[in-house]
């Protein structure tokens, strides 16, 4: 199946995982790049990013580098912002004509990304596989990322081979 990994990342965690997933499953990859991103440093990033994400808002994106509608399966990745998916991912999902192609989702959080992933699964029931990953600064949770990500990749591979 022709597969696309689509992600947004402010600080690199989601980007690194997206690249690993795409190279492991042999898919294409597309980064979502906002026209005007939130600040990378300071409290303002939480205010700007958190408020938009809480309300489920999107954000204007630079032109997509891939035509998502031409893929059979899509895997999405997002950092958790105020408990929710980030605004760039919201925008992509609202632009996507066939959201039932989204079969997997991965999310990074300072704490747990479970709530954000449950939210996505509820809104997009085609999502069969999810993984909650921890920011690299989380000394307690980040060490589990490697094994969790490998299990997620294996699930995706078996889904993609069987279809
Ligand atoms: C605007 C904003 C809101 C955030 N809200 C949460 C949150 O509600 N819960 C949480 O655990 N982490 C939160 N974080 C932390 C990020 O989810 C975490 O650092 C993630 O690993 C960042 O991924 P990235 O490096 O791909 O940008 C927030 C970060 C930002 C910038």
| CATH code of the domain covering residue 120 | 3.40.50.360
- List the residue whose alpha carbon is closest to atom 28 of ligand 1: 81
Query: What Rg do the C-alpha atoms of the chain give, in angstroms?
Result: 15
What pLDDT sits at residue 40?
Answer: 86
Our answer on whether the CB atom of 136 is closer than 6 Å to any ligand 1 atom is no
Ligand 1 midpoint to CA 54 (Å): 12
Residue 132 has pLDDT above 90, yes or no: yes
What pTM does this model have? 0.97
Our answer on whether the CB atom of 14 is closer than 6 Å to any ligand 1 atom is yes
Average pLDDT over all residues of the chain: 95
Helices (H), 29-100: 44-54, 87-95
Ligand 1 midpoint to CA 9 (Å): 10
What pLDDT sits at residue 44?
Answer: 84
What is the b/e burial string over 17-31, where b = at least 16 CB atoms within 10 angstroms of the residue's CB?
A: bbeebbebbebebbb
Alpha-carbon torsion (121, 103, 15, 153), positive or negative: positive
Tens digit of each residue's pLDDT (9 = 90 or more) over 83-113: 999 999 999 999 999 999 999 999 999 999 9
Domain tally, the chain: 1
Our answer on whether the CB atom of 110 is closer than 6 Å to any ligand 1 atom is yes
Backbone angles phi, psi at 30, to 5 degrees: -140, 125
Ligand 1 midpoint to CA 78 (Å): 9
Give 63's contacts (C-beta < 8 A, 6+ positions apart): none
What pLDDT sits at residue 48?
Answer: 81
- List the residue whose alpha carbon is closest to atom 21 of ligand 1: 135
Q: How many CB atoms lie within 10 A of CB 75?
A: 29
CB-CB contact of 154 with 122 (8 Å) = no
Domain that holds residue 98: 3-162
Tens digit of each residue's pLDDT (9 = 90 or more) over 16-32: 999 999 999 999 999 99
Of all atoms in ligand 1, which is nearest to the CA of residue 113? 11
What does the alpha-carbon distance between residue 59 and residue 52 come to, in Å, rounded to a whole number?
A: 8
């Amino acid at each position: 199946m022709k597969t696309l990994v689509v992600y947004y990342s402010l600080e690199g965690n989601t980007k690194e995982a997206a690249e690993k997933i795409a190279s492991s499953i042999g898919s294409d990859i597309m980064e979502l790049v906002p026209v005007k991103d939130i600040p990378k440093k300071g409290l303002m990033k939480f205010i700007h990013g958190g408020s938009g994400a809480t309300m489920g808002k999107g954000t204007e994106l630079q032109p997509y580098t891939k035509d998502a509608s031409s893929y059979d399966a899509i895997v999405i990745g997002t950092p958790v912002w105020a408990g929710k998916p980030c605004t760039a991912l919201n925008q992509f999902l609202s632009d996507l004509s066939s959201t039932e192609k989204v079969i997997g989702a991965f999310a990074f959080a300072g704490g747990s990304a479970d709530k954000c992933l449950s939210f996505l699964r509820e809104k997009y029931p085609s999502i069969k596989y999810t993984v909650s990953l921890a920011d690299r600064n989380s000394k307690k949770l980040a060490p589990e990322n490697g094994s969790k990500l490998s299990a997620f990749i294996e699930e995706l591979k078996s889904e993609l081979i069987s279809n």
